[in-house]
Structure 1
Amino acid sequence: MKRTEIVSIFQKRAFGLALTIGAASFVMAQQKVNISGNVKDANGGVGYSSVTFKNTQNSQLSDAVLADVDGNYKLDLAPGNYDVSIEAVDYKKFTQTIRVEKAGAIAPFVITSDGKANLNNTTNIQGVVITAATTKPYKVELDKKTYDPSQDLVSKGGSLQDVLQNVPSVSVDTDGTVSMRGSSNVRFLINGKPSALLGIDDGANALQSIPADQIEKIEVITNPSSKFEASGTAGILNIILKKNKKTGFNGSVIGTLGYLPQTNLNTSLSWRKGKFSWFLNGGGGYRESKNTNRNTNIYNDVTIVGNQLESRQNSEITNKNSNYNATAGIVYDINDKTSVNASGTVRTFESDNVGNIDYNFSLLNAPSTYTLRRNIGTNNNLAFQGDFGLDHKFDDKGQNLSLSLSLQRNRSNNDTNILEYENFNPATSLENIINQKTKNQNIVAKLDYELPIGEISKLEAGYRLDSNDNSYDNNVLEGTSAQNLALLPLYTYDANYKELFNAFYLQFKSKIGKIGYQVGLRNELSNVTIDYQNLLTPGSAGYTPPIVNDKKTYNNLFPSIFLSYEFAKDNQLLVNYSRRIDRPRGFFLIPNPSYSDNQNIFDGNIDLNPAYVDSFEVGYSISKKKFTINPTLYYKRKTDDTKMLVYNKAIEYKYLDDAGIEQTGKRIEFHTRPINLGSEETYGLDLNFNWDATSWLKFMGNVDVFGYNIKGSTLYDTLDQDLNDIVRTANFNGTGVSTRSRLTSTFKLDKTLNFQVQGFFRGATKTEFQHRKEMYAINFGASKTIWSGNGTIAFNIQDVFNTRAMQATTYTANSTRDTYMQWQPRQFTVSLTYRFKQGEKVDQPKRKKDINSNATGGDEQGPI
C-alpha cells in the first residue's frame, strides 16, 4: 500500500483520532496476595461488618468484603498502604491505616458500640462490593466455565474475534469460523440471548464489530443444562458485556491504532445513585483485512471437460471495514423487591472489498488458457435491538421471578460487480452484477422462576418464545457486456425463512452430603416455514419449481444431568450428560443462495433436517492458591450429521474472444452442498490449567487430545448431461487422533509492566474426503499502567511469524483439490485506555445467590 493511500484512509475516518492517544507499548497487572482477619468488640466477633480497604496510591487496587457471622473475612489485595474503614449497625465507624506486604493473617480490628441498646440488630446492614480484576482468568463451575479477558494482553484493542482465539476449548479458523472442541456448530449468545449484534449470516464480520474492551467475560458451556436453549451441538458461548456497577459517575475510553490499517475509539460511561442507574457503551473504528486463497485442481477423469487436466486458482481479496455501535440502558429499583430495566442497541457495519482471482487451465493437446476475474463489492449492515425486563424478589430466601422481552431487527445489503478477462485481453469477456438483500426480525420473550426448597435445594422453571423471520432477495445478472446483461433465472429468487420455537424447562438442584446434583428437562416445539421461488419457468433447463409453505415441525425433549462430588473445597469431580440439536441455518435451506464466484458455488438444500447429539463429560477440577487444573474426558455422538458434499459440474458459457466475437466455452464448477449423512463420534481429553509459577511468571494452557470416527458415504449424480447421469460416490469415512493446544505465558517485570507470549497449535486430521494439515501461530502482547493506575498503554502482535493459514486436500470422485487459505496476515496494534471518575462502592446485591446458581447465563438472563 502506498503511503498516500494510508494517509488518505486516516483523513477520511474520524476515529483516526486514536493516533493521538495510542503512543507506545506495554502492560499492567498487580500481583495480589490473600489476607485474612477478624472484626470484634469486647465480647467477640462482630458479624456482618463491612470492611473497606482503600489503596492510598491507586484507587483501582481498592476492595471491600462483608465479614461472616463471626466477624471473619478473607480477600485478595495488592501489596501497599490502605485506609481501612469498618461499618456495622449500632457501632461507631472505625478507621485505621495499615500496610499489606505479604499473604497471611493481619491483626484484628476492634470496634466499639455507639451506645445504642440493640447491639445484635443486623437487619439493615449494607455491605460493599468493589469490582476488581480477578487473579484467576479461568474458573470452573457446575455447568459452565468462565473466562475473564481482562488479563489477556494479546487481544487488547482488538475485537470479540481476537478474544475468542484465546479462550480455552475454543478455536477460530482462518476464515473466521469459531469452533469448540473441533465442532463449528456453536451457539452464540449476548448476555444470555441471541442478539442482533451478531447479524444474520455474516458471523465473522459481526464478531469483528464487537470491541474486546466491551467484554466483561465469556461463559464456555460445552454441555449446556436444560435451562439453556437446545441449539448448538458443540455448545454455547455466552458473551457478557460490561455494565459498571460502581456508585457515582464512572467511565473509561480506549483508543487503538494498528496495522494492517486499523483505528478504534470506544467508551464506557455509567452513573448510579440511589434507585436509579444508567450506562452507555459505544464507539467504532476502521479496519482492513487481506484474504488469500490458492487452489490447485487435478482432474482424474478428463472426459468431464474434454481435454482439461489441471486448473490453478489464486485469489487475493482486500476488505476495508468500518463499524459503529452504541448501547444505552437504565435500571430503576421500584422498591426493595422489584426493579425494571430497559436498554437499546444500534450497530452499523460497512465494508468495501476488491479481489482478483486468476484461473489457469492446463489443457490436453491444446494451449493453456487464462482467466482473470475481478470482484468489486460493498456491504452495509444495520442492526437494532430493544430489551425490556422486570425482576421481582418474593422474599429474602431466593424466590425470584424474571420477565424479559427482546425485539431485534437486522438488515444487510450486498452488491457485487464481477468482470472477467480471457487470455490477457483488456476487453471484458463476461460481466456479473449481484444484488442481495437480507432482513431478519426476531422476538425473544422469556419467563424464569426460582424457588428455594430448604437450605440447599432449588427448583427452576421457565418458558421461552423465539420468533425469527428471515427474508432473502437475490438478483444476478450476467452477459458478455454491460449492454446485454440478463438475469440468471436460477440465481434470481425471493425466499423467506420463518421459525417459531416454544420451549419449556424444569430443573432441580440439590446436595446429598458431598454429592451435588442437577437434573432438568426441556421441551422445544419448532415450526419452520420456507417459501422459495426463482425465475425459472416450467419446462426450462434446470427448472426448480417454486416451493410455497414447505413446513417442518419438530417436537423434542432434551434432558440434562449434572453430578458433582466435592472431595474438599475447590476440589471436585464433575459428571454430566445432555442432548442437543443442530438446526440448519436458514441460509443452508435456500436452494441457490450465492453466486459470488461462478466456479465455486454453494448450493443450499431445502430438504436438510436437524442433527442430534448425545454428549457426555467426566471432569475433575482442583483450584489452589497458585494453580487450577481441570481435565475433562468427553464423548459425543452425532446422528443425521450435516456434511458438505463437494462435486464437479461442467457447463457451457458464452464469452467474447480476442476479436470481440461471442464464443461458447466449457468450464468446470465446484459445487458445495450440505446434506444429512451418517454419524460422527468424537472423544478426547480436554485439559485446562492456570499456574502462577512465581510472583513474576504465570501460565495458562489448554490441551485437547481427541479422536474421531466419521461414518457416511453416498451416491450422487454429477448433474452433467454430457456424462449421461453417471452416478458417483462421496465418501466421508475416517478415523484418527489429533490435537489442539494453546499456551499463554505472562511475565511481570514490575508492578506496572507485563509481557505475554501465546502459542497455538492444531494437529492434522484426515478422512477419505479431506486431509487438513497442521497449523500453528505465535502472538505477543505487552502493557503498562500509567497515571496512577488510571491509564494503560498496550501493544500486541497477532501471528508474529505469519504462519496462521489453513492447508487442505479435498478428494472428489473425479478430482483432487489442494487449498491454501489465510484469513488475515500478521498485524499489530497499539492502544491507550483512560479511566476517569472511578466510583468506590456499590450496594450489596439484593438477590440472594446460590453458590451453584447460573448468575449470568441461560434463560434467566436480563437485557443487554
Structure 2
Amino acid sequence: MNQTEIVNIFTKKTLALTFVLSAAAMAFAQEKAGITGMIVNKQNQPVPYASVTFSNKANKSLSDAVLTDEKGQYKLELAPGNYDITVEAIDYKKSIVNKNIAGAGNIGALSIQPEATTSIDGKTQEIQGVVITAAATKPYKVELDKRTYDPSQDIVSKGGNLQDVLSNVPSVSVDTDGTVSMRGSSNVRFLINGKPSALLGIDDGANALQSIPADQIDRIEVITNPSSKFEASGTAGILNIILKKSKKTGFNGSVIGTLGYLPQTNLNANLNWRKGNFTWFLNGGGGYRESKNTTRTDDFFTNAAKSSDLVTRNQDSETKSKNNNYNASAGIVYDISEKTSVNASGTVRTFDSENIGNIDYKYSYFTDPNSVSNRSTFGTNNNLAFQGDFGLDHKFDDKGQNLSLSLSLQRSRSYNDTNINETQNGAFLLNNIVNQNTINKSVIGKADYELPIGDNSKLEAGYRIDINTNDYSNEVFQSTVQAPTLSFLKPYTYDATYKETFNAFYLQFKSKIGKLGYQLGVRDELSRVDINYQNLDPTKPLLATTKNYNNLFPSVYLSYEFAKDNQLLVNYTRRIDRPRSFFMIPNPNYNDNQNIFDGNINLNPSYVDSFEFGYSISKKKFTINPTLYYRHQTDDTKMLVFNLKETYLDANLVERERIVSHTKPINLGTDDRFGLDLNFNWDATSWLKFLGNVDLFGYNTKGSTLYDTFDKDGKPIQAVADFNGKGFSTRARLSSTIKVDKTFSFQVQGFYRGAQNTAYQDRKDMYAINFGASKTIWKGDGTLAFNVQDIFNTRSMRSTTYTANSVRDSYMQWQPRQFSVSLTYRFKQGEKVEQPKRKKDINSNATGDDQQVPM
C-alpha cells in the first residue's frame, strides 16, 4: 500500500466518523426555546464571563450551561421546564435561583453578591495569589512555579508537531538531532497532562515528539524549578504538555490536514461532545514524513610514528528516513454528582519507519593513502504504545477541599532491525544483522489531597508510586571474509531487564503574610533500581545489581507583590538526574563498529541544587520576566570519549589495525550553571507583536579521570580526560507577528545559539530563521496556514572534540529546510463553558505533576 492510498483511506475514515458522530449528537436534540438573560452585581453593573448553569429538575440530560460575554449577557436554547440556575464568577459568591421556563424569551437580570473581601465595585482588593496572568491574547503567562506557553498564536508551527512547537517555546532549545534542552541542560523531564505517557514512547526520543500533532496541544507548561509536588526527576526542569479538551456544550471539533516538503502529509481530528453530566472526546490522526540526516566527521590522530599507523579518518554519513505514525485517544468524564466525577481514557500510538544510511570512511596511511571503506545500512523500526488512565475527583465542599485519585497503565514495545554491509576498496568486508526488541511497562498510581486553612492558606499532601520495567533483547549476527557464515557477535548479543520502583510522598504548605507569599514543601522518594544483564559470551558472567536510594527534596518559594502585576519571585529546589535505562546496559546497541557507545552499569544519579531570583511585570501591552538562576550539580554525568586499537582482516585477508572510538557515560565532578533568562512579550501596536527570549549564561565544569588508550608509538597507556572548563554563552529567540487584517497574519522567527567551549570540546554558534503565514477563511470556521522552517538552511551543529591522541571535527544537520501548508476546518455547536474558578490562593498551581488531568 503506497502513501497516497494510506492518506486516502485515513481521510475517508476520519470524515465518516465525523458524520456519524454529528448525526448521533443531533439525535439527542429536542424541541428547544431561545433563552436570553444577563448577570449583574449589586450596583447593577454587568458581570462578564460568569458561568451560568441550568439544571433541569426533572431530566438532567436537558441541563445546559453557558458563559456570559463581556457585557454580562448570555443566550442559549433550552427545553421548557423547571430549572435551578447556578451562577458562579471569580470574586463573587455562588448564587442559586429557581425558575420555570415555559417558552422563548428574556428571563431578566440575575444579581450576584461579591465576596466579603472585595470592594464595592466587585473588584478584588486582596492579593490574588502569586499568579501574574497576561491578557488572553498573550502567548504566555508567568506564575510562581512555572510559565505557560500557548501555541495557538504560533503561526510557524501550524500543521507541525510537538517538536516544532518546542522549538518556539521560551527557555527551551531543540538541537539539530532532536535533543530538547532547557537553559543549556538536556536532562528535561516530559509529562503529558501531568504524568509520564506512552505517547512519548521509550526514553522520549525525537521520533515520539514528531508523532504528537501541534493541533492537539492546548498549552505547554515550562517548569524550570519544580516544587515538591512534582516528581524530582529532571534537573533541567519539566515540560508538561497539556492536550486539548473542549469546554463547549454539544458536539464540536476540528479537522486539520497538512502537506509539505520534505514529503510530509498529516490528517488529524479532534472531536468532543458534552451534554449534562456526560463528556466524551476523541482525538486521532496520522501522517507520513521523510527526513534526511547529514553528518561529516574528520578525525586527526597523533600516532604517526609507524608508517602502518592510521593518521586521519574522514567520515561522511547520510541517513534518509521514511516514517508513518498514527495515534488515537478517547475518553469520558461522568459527573456522578456536583462534587464527584470519574474519568477514563485510552491512548494508542504506532510509529513505523525505514532508514537507509551510507557511511564513507577514507583512511589516510603513509603506505596506503587511498584506502576507502563504505558502510551501508537498511533499518526498520516498529513502535506500538498503549495507555489507559482512570481517575476520581471529589470535592468535599465549595471551599477547595479536594481529593484526586488516578491510575495509569502503560505499555510500549519497539522492534528495530538493521542490516549492515561493509566493503573496503569495493570488496566485501563484513555483514551485520542487528535485531533489537524493547518492551516497556509502567504503572503509575497517585493520590492528592488539598485542604484550605482559613482564607489565605492551603495544605497539600500526596502519594505516588511508579513501577517501570524495560526488557531488552539484542541479537547481532556477523559474517566476514575470514568467517563467511553468519554467526552471533557474542559481545553484543544479550538479554537485559531494567526495573525501577519509586515511592514518593509530598507535603506542601502555602500561605501569605500581607504582601509576602510563601510556599514550603518537601518530597521523600524511595527508589529501587534492579538491573540484570546476560551476555551470550559464556566467559562473561551474569551481571546483576540493585541500587536503593532514599532522598529528600525540599522546595521553598517566596513572592512579594509591590503592586498589581509587579512581583518579586525567589525559589530553591533540590532535584535528581536519574540515568536513562540504556545508559546502564553494558552494550546497548551496535550500529557502527568504529563508533561504539558503551553503557555503564555502575552509573549513579546526580543531584542538583537550583536557585532562582526573578521579577515579573505584566501590563496591558507589555510583559517582562527576567530571572537570575544558579544550578550546582554533583556527580555529574559526563560523556567520556576515548580511542582503542583493534585488529581485523581486510578484503585481501591482510591483517590490519584500525582505531575504534568509544563513548561512555561516567559520574564525574561538578557542573555549575548560572545566568540571566529574560522573557518578554510586547504588543507594540494593534498589528505588530513581539515575543522574545534571551538566555545569557555561564558554566563551570570540573572533573578529570584516567582512561585506557595508546600513545604515539601505538603502545597502551593511561591518559587523563580533562573535563575542566568554564566560559560564557548565549541563546536568543525573537518572534514578530504582523496582523495585516482581521483574517490574515504572518510571523518571522529567528533563533541564535552562541558558541560554547570546554576543555574537551569547542562548539560553534548556530542560527536559523523561520517564516509562517495564516489566513482565516469560511467565516471563521477555517484556517489556511503556510510555513517555512530554516529558510536559509543554516540550522546545523559544528564542533571540535579533543582526546589525548586525536582531534575530531564534526558537522551535523538533522533536517534540511522544509515547508508545509495546512488547512483547518472547525465545526461547532453550543457555547463555551469554563469551569468556575476558585479564588486563587497565594501560590496557586493550575496543573501539577501529581494532579489528575484526563487525557
Q: Judge same fold: TM > 0.5, yes or no.
A: yes
Work out the CA distance in 1 between the residues paired with 2:112 and 2:761: 75
Structure-2 residue corresponding to 1:764 = 755
Q: In 1, are the aligned partners of 2:265 and 2:288 still within 8 Å (CA)?
A: yes
Q: Is 1:602 aligned with 2:597?
A: yes
Q: Is 1:612 aligned with 2:619?
A: no
Q: Which amino acid aligns with 1:777?
A: A
Quote the RMSD (CA, aligned, Å): 3.0
Query: Aligned pair in 2 of structure 1 residues 835, 813: CA closer, same or farther (>3 Å)?
Result: same
Structure-1 residue corresponding to 2:572 = 577
Structure-1 residue corresponding to 2:58 = none
Structure-1 residue corresponding to 2:276 = 274
Which residues in structure 2 correspond to 1:84-483 (within 5 Å)? 89=97, 134-201=136-203, 203-302=205-304, 306-425=308-427, 428-480=428-480
Shift of residue 656, structure 1, vs aligned partner: 2.8
Query: Aligned pair in 2 of structure 1 residues 790, 14: CA closer, same or farther (>3 Å)?
Result: same
Gaps of 5+ in 2: 16-37, 53-66, 76-86, 116-133
Work out the CA distance in 2 between the residues paired with 1:167 and 1:184: 15
- What whole-Å deviation, never above 9, does each CA across 1:200-231 have from its counterpart, x for those lacking one? 13611100011111000000000000000000
Q: Secondary structure at the match of 2:537?
A: coil
Work out the CA distance in 2 between the residues paired with 1:639 and 1:176: 26
Q: Which amino acid aligns with 2:563?
A: A
Q: Is 1:665 aligned with 2:681?
A: no
Structure-2 residue corresponding to 1:560 = 555
Query: Aligned pair in 2 of structure 1 residues 302, 534: CA closer, same or farther (>3 Å)?
Result: farther
Structure-1 residue corresponding to 2:621 = 626
Q: In 2, are the aligned partners of 1:430 and 1:655 still within 8 Å (CA)?
A: no
The size of the alignment, in residue pairs, is: 783
Q: In 2, are the aligned partners of 1:451 and 1:458 still within 8 Å (CA)?
A: yes
Shift of residue 800, structure 1, vs aligned partner: 0.3
Query: Aligned pair in 2 of structure 1 residues 256, 46: CA closer, same or farther (>3 Å)?
Result: closer
Query: Aligned pair in 2 of structure 1 residues 234, 795: CA closer, same or farther (>3 Å)?
Result: same
Q: Is 1:822 aligned with 2:817?
A: no
Q: In 1, are the aligned partners of 2:325 and 2:352 still within 8 Å (CA)?
A: yes
Q: Secondary structure at the match of 2:155?
A: coil
Shift of residue 567, structure 1, vs aligned partner: 1.1
Q: Is 1:683 aligned with 2:682?
A: no
Q: In 1, are the aligned partners of 2:432 and 2:478 still within 8 Å (CA)?
A: yes
Structure-1 residue corresponding to 2:802 = 811
Q: In 1, are the aligned partners of 2:90 and 2:838 still within 8 Å (CA)?
A: no
Identity over aligned pairs, percent:
69
Which of 844, 847, 855 aligns to 1:856? It is 847
Shift of residue 285, structure 1, vs aligned partner: 0.2
Q: Is 1:501 aligned with 2:496?
A: no
Structure-1 residue corresponding to 2:60 = none
Q: Secondary structure at the match of 1:162?
A: helix
Shift of residue 483, structure 1, vs aligned partner: 5.0
Shift of residue 306, structure 1, vs aligned partner: 4.0
Structure-1 residue corresponding to 2:690 = 699
Q: Which amino acid aligns with 1:373?
A: R
Work out the CA distance in 2 between the residues paired with 1:628 and 1:42: 34
Q: In 2, are the aligned partners of 1:432 and 1:476 still within 8 Å (CA)?
A: yes
Shift of residue 536, structure 1, vs aligned partner: 1.7
Which of 678, 683, 700 aligns to 1:709? It is 700
Q: Which amino acid aligns with 1:601?
A: I
Structure-2 residue corresponding to 1:841 = 832
Which residues in structure 2 correspond to 1:704-783 (within 5 Å)? 704-718=695-709, 725-783=716-774
Work out the CA distance in 2 between the residues paired with 1:503 and 1:383: 26
Shift of residue 14, structure 1, vs aligned partner: 3.7
Q: In 2, are the aligned partners of 1:305 and 1:667 still within 8 Å (CA)?
A: no
Q: Which amino acid aligns with 1:792?
A: T
Q: Secondary structure at the match of 1:403?
A: strand
- What whole-Å deviation, never above 9, does each CA across 1:607-650 have from its counterpart, x for those lacking one? 10000000000000010000100000000000000000000011
Shift of residue 92, structure 1, vs aligned partner: 11
Q: Secondary structure at the match of 2:227?
A: coil
Work out the CA distance in 1 between the residues paired with 2:9 and 2:677: 41
- What whole-Å deviation, never above 9, does each CA across 1:12-66 have from its counterpart, x for those lacking one? 5447969x99xxxxxxxxxxxxxxxx965997558878672399xxx9xxxxx96
Q: In 1, are the aligned partners of 2:89 and 2:836 still within 8 Å (CA)?
A: no
Query: Aligned pair in 2 of structure 1 residues 121, 677: CA closer, same or farther (>3 Å)?
Result: closer
Query: Aligned pair in 2 of structure 1 residues 770, 649: CA closer, same or farther (>3 Å)?
Result: same
Q: Is 1:797 aligned with 2:785?
A: no
Q: In 1, are the aligned partners of 2:89 and 2:837 still within 8 Å (CA)?
A: no
Shift of residue 792, structure 1, vs aligned partner: 0.2
- What whole-Å deviation, never above 9, does each CA across 1:401-454 have from its counterpart, x for those lacking one? 0000000001000000001111134xx321010000000000000000000000
* 297-306 vs 588-597, which moves further: 297-306
Which of 4, 13, 16 aligns to 1:10? It is 4
Shift of residue 843, structure 1, vs aligned partner: 6.3
Q: In 2, are the aligned partners of 1:133 and 1:150 still within 8 Å (CA)?
A: no
* 409-418 vs 717-726, which moves further: 717-726
Q: Secondary structure at the match of 1:53?
A: coil
Work out the CA distance in 1 between the residues paired with 2:837 and 2:293: 50
- What whole-Å deviation, never above 9, does each CA across 1:748-778 have from its counterpart, x for those lacking one? 0000000000000000000111000000000
Shift of residue 697, structure 1, vs aligned partner: 0.2
Shift of residue 302, structure 1, vs aligned partner: 3.0
Q: In 2, are the aligned partners of 1:393 and 1:847 still within 8 Å (CA)?
A: no
Q: In 2, are the aligned partners of 1:478 and 1:487 still within 8 Å (CA)?
A: yes
Q: In 1, are the aligned partners of 2:251 and 2:829 still within 8 Å (CA)?
A: yes
Scaled by the length of structure 1, the TM-score of the pair is 0.86
Which residues in structure 2 correspond to 1:32-71 (within 5 Å)? 44=44, 52-53=68-69
Work out the CA distance in 1 between the residues paired with 2:840 and 2:306: 66
Q: Secondary structure at the match of 2:202?
A: coil
Work out the CA distance in 2 between the residues paired with 1:238 and 1:604: 29
Work out the CA distance in 1 between the residues paired with 2:379 and 2:345: 34
Shift of residue 535, structure 1, vs aligned partner: 1.5
Q: In 2, are the aligned partners of 1:40 and 1:110 still within 8 Å (CA)?
A: no
Query: Aligned pair in 2 of structure 1 residues 546, 170: CA closer, same or farther (>3 Å)?
Result: same
Q: Secondary structure at the match of 1:859?
A: coil
- What whole-Å deviation, never above 9, does each CA across 1:701-741 have from its counterpart, x for those lacking one? 00000000011111111289995541011111111111000
Query: Aligned pair in 2 of structure 1 residues 133, 345: CA closer, same or farther (>3 Å)?
Result: farther
Shift of residue 11, structure 1, vs aligned partner: 4.7
Q: Secondary structure at the match of 1:780?
A: strand
Q: In 2, are the aligned partners of 1:168 and 1:688 still within 8 Å (CA)?
A: yes
- What whole-Å deviation, never above 9, does each CA across 1:511-555 have from its counterpart, x for those lacking one? 1100110000000000000000112222xxxxx43213x100110
Work out the CA distance in 1 between the residues paired with 2:238 and 2:473: 30
Work out the CA distance in 1 between the residues paired with 2:769 and 2:798: 18
Work out the CA distance in 1 between the residues paired with 2:92 and 2:192: 40
Structure-1 residue corresponding to 2:777 = 786
Query: Aligned pair in 2 of structure 1 residues 348, 847: CA closer, same or farther (>3 Å)?
Result: farther
Shift of residue 653, structure 1, vs aligned partner: 2.1
Work out the CA distance in 2 between the residues paired with 1:43 and 1:649: 83
Structure-1 residue corresponding to 2:124 = none
Work out the CA distance in 2 between the residues paired with 1:815 and 1:719: 11
Gaps of 5+ in 1: 1-6, 22-37, 60-64, 72-86, 98-108, 123-131, 539-543
Work out the CA distance in 1 between the residues paired with 2:313 and 2:42: 89
Which residues in structure 2 correspond to 1:630-649 (within 5 Å)? 630-649=625-644
Q: Is 1:547 aligned with 2:550?
A: no
- What whole-Å deviation, never above 9, does each CA across 1:456-512 have from its counterpart, x for those lacking one? 100000000000000100011111269511111110011100000000000000111
